[in-house]
Structure 1
Amino acid sequence: MQKNTAQRSSGLARGKQRKLGDGLGISETARKSNSQRRKRRVNPADPQGNKKLDEILKDPKKLDGKTPDQVRKELGQTPGWKEEGLGKGSHKGKGWVLREYSPQGNPTGRMVRWHPGGGHHGPNPYWRVTSPTGGKSPNIPAGKP
């Protein structure tokens, strides 16, 4: 049976052993990087950011019961973000998507999406918020336009 040790492959002299994982944990640098990712991302196109949009990304439940028009009015124009329709499925072109783009024109992964309902999630409209740091929110009930 093999022991949970590393010898020659780790560069240790013969006879000296250490448990695998000793010193192999997340480094301080990696820990800092992970915590820095959790901070608000600054889009160079909009360094001041939109506080209401940041609040929605942190707490998607703030969208509960709202329509896309209500959210559009609350957020106003936000540099670096574009309004689009849904891109796939039977509702392609319908719905409402607010997606962030980098100054180079690439999607950043942050998005607020309203789906009109129908399909495998049921007949009612819903919101979904996505971000690299927060992942995908659950479906949040939306108001009908």
Structure 2
Amino acid sequence: MRTLVRRAIVCGLATAGVLGPMTVTGAAAKAAAPEPRLYAPTALVLTVAQGETAATAVPLRAVTLTCMPTAGGTHPAPQRACTELRSVEGKFDKLGGESNRPCIKIYDPVVVTAQGTWEGRRVNFEQMYANSCVLQSEGSSVFSF
């Protein structure tokens, strides 16, 4: 009888030794798994600066723009800017376009930047315009602040 009890204890300990880490690992995996999100984050910092590149330019203005869950931030027209960004799937290089508005031919470069996240994707955009008139005519509402 003692042999039978001893075998049962040894088998029980062996089973616990093999299966124990599996249950702990399963619990740890559940705890480490990220929680599902309702929406991908969108938060941007937009700047307009005087100069040819963002690295050497003098910042003139900067605003924040959030588009998820609702449009907001310090941008003067966040709803319009978010709508325009959604229409180009957050691809800043597709914003704006050609305009018939006449601009003076004075070279006084202005650079715009966008940094942050768009629907969970990292964004680092920079575009230079010959002057502020060209920015206003070819640019978009995203950089109208």
**Structure 1 length-normalised TM:** 0.31
**Structure 2 length-normalised TM:** 0.31
Which protein has greater RCO, CA pairs closer than 8 Å, 6+ apart? 2
For the pair shown, which has the larger CA radius of gyration, 1 or 2?
Answer: 2
